[in-house]
Amino acid sequence: MAIEKVKTILEMADKANTAVLAFNCSDFNMISAVLQGAEKANKPVLCMLDPRHATFMKWTSPRIYGPMVRELAEKVKIPVGIHLDHCTDFNLLITAMESGFNSVMYDGSMLTPEENLKNTKEVVHVAKAFGVDVEAELGHVGFADNAKDQDDEDLYTKPETAARFVEESGCTSLAIAIGSAHGFYKKTPHLDLERLSEINATTDAPLVLHGGSGIPDDQLKVAFTRGINKLNVGTELFYNYLLSAKKYCNAETTDNMFDFPTAAQEDLTEYVYNKLDLSSLTL
């Protein structure tokens, strides 16, 4: 049984002064590849469903995703967590908790800090009854296609506010804004590592970095030693899926459509295995 409490996985990462990688993966091939890549690397991993991947959500829901990851996780020995990413919908959060997700993110980062705290507290209260961990976000991590989101220090997490937020909300982990953004970066991000150290000095909570696709490895490695214990990666995995499909379609020798799912899984497994090099977490 490979499902492990996310809090425990984060504690393992914290002890090892590194981060666990959490991948947005939205279908069977992607989830299978994440688990196979992590098994090959012998490292824990988190599978994350992002409700913003709306076309996927139209056809399925946490009720399918949760059991699917749990079933697939039976095939591997590494610790696996199931996380609902960026959710603002209370009903969806509860559906995920009922469906085998052992971690959820309540994202109140667009709200005032007071409203964010109030709502996060409520989610934590409910999640406790399910034994589910809660990630919150303080400050706001925006989108990389808007360079301003990445550079606007007004959106960054204020070190003096983090400890109180964690304490009062009861969240398990805290996503912080220090110069990363979601999606393809138009210009190389420069993480505010000084700010990260300041935040980390105020709280024992594991810190989470979003927008993990395209941040230079050297910055990530420093960030991991300064309190980032979870790195979210999505865009790179999805893009590699697309590349795999293109490669398959263009291959002159391949005209067997039935082989595509396996071929895509192999390509993505390799990507995940290599990406996991970033984490020094060993079992």
- Stretch touching ligand 13P by CB under 6 A, among 3-11, 193-201, 231-239, 244-252: 231-239
- Stretch touching ligand 13P by CB under 6 A, among 51-59, 153-161, 221-229, 232-240: 232-240
**154 tagged catalytic:** no
Residue numbers 6-45 binding ligand 13P by CB under 6 A:
24
Contact pattern from residue 98 through residue 137 relative to ligand 13P, giving x for each residue in contact according to CB under 6 A and a dash for the rest: ----------------------------------------
Kindly tell me which residue out of 85, 133, 149, 198 binds ligand 13P, with binding defined by CB under 6 A: 85
213 binds ligand 13P (CB under 6 A): yes
- Identify residue 28 by its one-letter amino acid code: F
- Identify residue 164 by its one-letter amino acid code: R
**CB 1 to ligand 13P: min, Å:** 26
Kindly tell me which residue out of 210, 226, 230, 275 binds ligand 13P, with binding defined by CB under 6 A: 210
**CB 231 to ligand 13P: min, Å:** 8
234 binds ligand 13P (CB under 6 A): yes
**Of residues 14, 50, 85, 107, which has the active-site annotation?**
85
**Rounded-to-integer distance, Cα 87 and Cα 108, Å:** 8
Q: Residues in contact with ligand 13P, total (CB under 6 A)?
A: 14
Please, are residues 104 and 97 in contact by the beta-carbon 8 Å criterion? yes
235 binds ligand 13P (CB under 6 A): yes
142 binds ligand 13P (CB under 6 A): no
> 209 pairs with which residues across the strands?
231
**CB 74 to ligand 13P: min, Å:** 26
Please, are residues 162 and 193 in contact by the beta-carbon 8 Å criterion? no
**CB 143 to ligand 13P: min, Å:** 9
Please, are residues 191 and 211 in contact by the beta-carbon 8 Å criterion? no
- Stretch touching ligand 13P by CB under 6 A, among 93-101, 197-205, 206-214, 257-265: 206-214
> 174 pairs with which residues across the strands?
136, 207
223 binds ligand 13P (CB under 6 A): no
Kindly tell me which residue out of 140, 182, 226, 230 binds ligand 13P, with binding defined by CB under 6 A: 182
- DSSP of the chain, one letter per residue? --B--HHHHHHHHHHTTS-EEEEE--SHHHHHHHHHHHHHHT--EEEEE-TT-HHHHHH--HHHHHHHHHHHHTT--S-EEEEEEEE--HHHHHHHHHTT-SEEEE--TTS-HHHHHHHHHHHHHHHHHHT-EEEEEES---BTTSHHHHH-GGGSPPHHHHHHHHHHH--SEEEE-SS--BS--SS-----HHHHHHHHHH--SPEEE---TT--HHHHHHHHHTTEEEEEE-HHHHHHHHHHHHHHHH-TT---GGGHHHHHHHHHHHHHHHHGGG-----
Q: Which is nearer to ligand 13P, 99 or 213 (CB)?
A: 213
Interacting residue ranges for ligand 13P, rule: CB under 6 A: 24, 85-86, 182-183, 210-213, 232-236
- Residues carrying an active site annotation: 85
